[in-house]
Amino acid sequence: MAVPTAPEQETQDRLHFLMLNIGHFLDHLFTLIFATVAAVALTREWGLGYAELLPYAAPGFFAFGAFALPAGWLADKWSREGMIAVYFIGIGMASVAASYVATPFQMGVALFVIGAFAAIYHPVGLAIVTEKWRNTGMRLAVNGVWGNLGVGSAALITGYCIDHGGWRSAFVYPGVLSIIVGLAYAWAMRTEILAGASLRAKVAAAQSSAPMTADYRAALFRISLIVFLTTALGSIIFQSTTFALPKVFDERLGGIAPTASVLGQMAFMVFAVASIGQVVVGHYLDRVGPRRVFMVAAALQVVFFGLMPGLRDWSALICALAFMLAAFGQIPINDYMIGRMAQGSMRARVYGLRYVVSFTVLALALPMISIIYQKWGFDTLFRVLAMAAFIILLAVMRLPERLPTPAPAAVTA
């Protein structure tokens, strides 16, 4: 097979990165379709309250976490590109199947299957991004923006479908698109998929002899504790804001968002503008390191979560935009630290462990949101999130100014 020229390789890399970004977009889209469906459609069609519907989303987020580690392990042992193809096609088929459910229990099962396939993307896709290209901070930021747009588009697309075609179509159309993209990805990456196992073996053999000093081990342990603590608390913040925001807007933006479509547009606008935070963070991660950037993001969340209780209409919208800007900006920081410190042959598994923690907390956060909402309302939820952000700020202050890195492996594809 002919070796591609430099321009051809650049085009292939751009296509590869674009497809990975589309994958991140769809991953967050699929996991949040139900949030808007439950808030503005199923409460009427199935005659259940919003708090009663929330627990049926929990199996999907449990699977989102539980399957992340085996997905990362399989990607390291077999093929990362192959696992991404499985992700696209599998989650698309599961989403189409979800459009046929008739009971809350069936919806819970469908969301579990969607979550199982959704678990593949983060440990595998981020491992590819951090290993394949330089300027890791900015690459992760751009990839994160696509994920955020998926978060926002879930409310936008689902709200539009509810108003014009029914909630079931919100599962069908993205599902079909994902299957088509998955087939295209498998074809475009067919060489890498077939060579994946042998390449992973070369990387593992080269890095098995790479030395790890005592100082590096100590720093790795301390930073790992901070990463997993802030991952857990950050997941509570992410789940509470992204999942509950359509309902928050439904309750508080009645004066400026009278229909499901307008509500979806407002949520999309907040998520889209908040994505700028990741670009800013990505720019500074490669220049000043994660500690200072992380501290600023956490401090801003403390302030604006604390201001949110009691606000309505435009003031609530502006405050929500501010805390989402900081919350989304925080997302790529832990992934950046893992990408810098984890050995390449184990990177997908380390990302898998990180997302087991993250998405297990996501699943556990749903009952928390339900209980707090039923007993005290969203004002109390925002105060809880302010406390979580404050603990993150205290933990991040223990990070070193610069991250240590493992010895590199001299391996070429």
Lowest mean pLDDT among 19-23, 204-208, 254-258: 204-208
Give the C-alpha separation, 237 to 384, whole Å: 9
Structure tokens at 359: 């998405």
Q: Is the Cα dihedral 166, 168, 170, 175 positive or negative?
A: negative
Structure tokens at 408: 């590199």
Confidence class of residue 87 from pLDDT cuts 50, 70 and 90?
very high
Give the C-alpha separation, 183 to 185, whole Å: 5
Structure tokens at 207: 């890095």
Per DSSP, the three-state class of 58 is helix
Per residue in 215-230, pLDDT tens? 767 777 788 888 888 9
Find, among 84, 103, 104, 87, the residue nearest to 95 by Cα: 87
pLDDT of residue 115: 93
Lowest mean pLDDT among 25-29, 109-113, 366-370: 366-370
pLDDT of residue 409: 46
Note the helical H segments in 119-168. Answer: 121-132, 136-164
Give the C-alpha separation, 221 to 229, whole Å: 12
Per residue in 258-303, pLDDT tens? 777 787 788 878 877 888 888 888 888 878 888 899 999 999 999 9
Q: Cα–Cα–Cα angle for 333, 336, 406, nearest 5°? A: 140
pLDDT of residue 412: 42
Per residue in 203-213, pLDDT tens? 555 544 455 66
DSSP 46: S
Domains and their CATH numbers in the chain: 14-205+213-396 (1.20.1250.20)
Find, among 233, 250, 379, 264, the residue nearest to 32 by Cα: 264
Amino acid code (one letter) for 188: A
Structure tokens at 50: 């919003």
Give the C-alpha separation, 200 to 289, whole Å: 29
Give the C-alpha separation, 68 to 74, whole Å: 10
DSSP 376: T
Q: Which pTM value belongs to this model?
A: 0.73
More confident residue, 214 or 149: 149
More confident residue, 249 or 177: 177
Determine the angle formed by the axes of helices 6-37 and 104-118, rounding to 10 degrees: 160
pLDDT at 75 exceeding the cut of 90:
no
Give the C-alpha separation, 269 to 148, whole Å: 11
More confident residue, 100 or 11: 100
Average pLDDT over residues 72-83: 86
Exposed/middle/buried for 44, CB within 10 Å: 0-12, 13-18, 19+? Answer: exposed
Give the C-alpha separation, 381 to 377, whole Å: 7
pLDDT of residue 413: 41
Average pLDDT over residues 367-378: 85
Judge whether 193 and 82 are in contact, CB under 8 Å.
yes
Contacts of 28 (CB under 8 A, 6+ apart): 147, 148, 150, 151, 154, 242
pLDDT of residue 404: 66
pLDDT at 389 exceeding the cut of 50:
yes
Judge whether 76 and 200 are in contact, CB under 8 Å.
yes
Amino acid code (one letter) for 228: F
Judge whether 128 and 81 are in contact, CB under 8 Å.
yes
More confident residue, 38 or 184: 184
Structure tokens at 115: 């979550």
Q: How far is CA 49 from the centre of its chain?
A: 27
pLDDT of residue 410: 44
Give the C-alpha separation, 298 to 295, whole Å: 5
pLDDT of residue 192: 80
Give the C-alpha separation, 171 to 169, whole Å: 5
Tokens 């519907």 sit on residue: 53
Structure tokens at 348: 């997908």
DSSP 40: I
pLDDT of residue 204: 52
More confident residue, 344 or 369: 369
Give the C-alpha separation, 215 to 212, whole Å: 8
Tokens 């391996």 sit on residue: 411
Per DSSP, the three-state class of 202 is helix
Judge whether 78 and 69 are in contact, CB under 8 Å.
no
pLDDT at 240 exceeding the cut of 60:
yes
Find, among 191, 78, 75, the residue nearest to 122 by Cα: 75
Average pLDDT of the chain is: 83
Average pLDDT over residues 162-168: 83
Judge whether 274 and 321 are in contact, CB under 8 Å.
yes
Give the C-alpha separation, 49 to 224, whole Å: 40
